[in-house]
Amino acid sequence: MPALIIAVANQKGGVGKTTTVINVAAILAEMGRRVLLIDCDPQANATSGLGVARRDIGASIYDVLVLGRPLSEARIPTRIPGLELIPSDIALAGAEIELVAVARREKRLTYALEALADDPIDYIFLDCPPSLGLLTVNAVVAAQALLVPIQCEFYALEGLGLLTHTLQLLRRELNPDLAIAGIVLTLHDARLTLANQVVDEVRARFGDDVLDPVIPRNVRLSEAPSYGLAITEYAPTSRGAIAYRELAANLDARLQARAAGLIAGSLA
């Protein structure tokens, strides 16, 4: 089976998107999966969160999307065996302007990923910026499935209708086969009634697409990126690490069991 390409996206910022993609990718690699994480966000938080310094980057996803360089030139290993990274760079912030006049600009990443067709990778994760700009569009067009983190707060309830509309729009206009890999509920504080209401509302709206467990609000999860470490490296026995291990295992089981359906776009 070719690699499963999963865009991790939410047009709202601050929902734990990059925390989720770093830790899920790292844990899947620790489980023996071969994983490539592509940082498509100009803020480069996934890059720094995996301990890669800007001075150590020779080529980035900017060079791939804008300059047409092959992915192999930007692909670097991480400390975690089985996990590789295509880093981002601040230059990516200008990519949307630079690509305006380029033909089929929304498929630049799709074309670049074609070079990995015979590569023995299990998962390719695309960490998207918190917007629906051209970078996110490139990721969604290239992806077979969408992983959506949702923060357990009031604005998540307000955004549920918008999220549903956005999914329909992406399928109609860009990628009719786009599936839902799962919805991840993040930053949950069980002491707050509102947080529990958000969990109930999201489960009622999206049903089996909501992945278990809910990710708790955890200080260790907030601290780990500043050390350039995944949570399982920084605080392996913390509540955050335990939750993300279970989440990654559940996501892996779901995707492997439904791989053929995912590639065909049959997940709902």
pLDDT, position 173: 83
pLDDT, position 103: 82
Beta carbons of 148 and 10 less than 8 angstroms apart:
yes
Helices (H) and strands (E) in the chain, counts: 12, 7
pLDDT, position 260: 60
pLDDT, position 1: 61
pLDDT, position 40: 95
pLDDT, position 95: 86
Q: Tens digit of pLDDT per residue, the chain (268 long)?
A: 678 999 998 888 888 899 999 999 999 999 999 999 999 999 999 999 999 988 888 899 999 999 999 999 999 999 999 999 999 988 898 888 888 888 888 899 999 999 998 889 999 999 999 888 889 999 999 999 999 999 988 887 777 777 778 888 888 888 898 889 999 999 998 888 888 998 998 999 889 999 999 999 999 999 999 999 999 999 999 999 999 999 999 999 999 887 765 444 434 4
Name the residue with tokens 């992983």: 147
pLDDT, position 261: 58
pLDDT, position 73: 94
Strand partners, 192: none
Pick the CATH number of 4-263 from 3.40.50.300, 3.40.640.10, 2.40.110.10, 3.40.50.850: 3.40.50.300
- Residue partners of 185: CB distance under 8 A and separation at least 6: 149, 150, 152, 198, 199, 202, 210, 211, 214, 215
Report CA Rg, the chain.
17
pLDDT, position 97: 87
Beta carbons of 48 and 77 less than 8 angstroms apart:
no
List the domain boundaries for the chain: 4-263
- Residue at 104: amino acid letter: R
pTM, two decimals, is: 0.92
Q: Look up residue 172 and give its two tokens.
A: 């109609």
- Residue partners of 253: CB distance under 8 A and separation at least 6: none
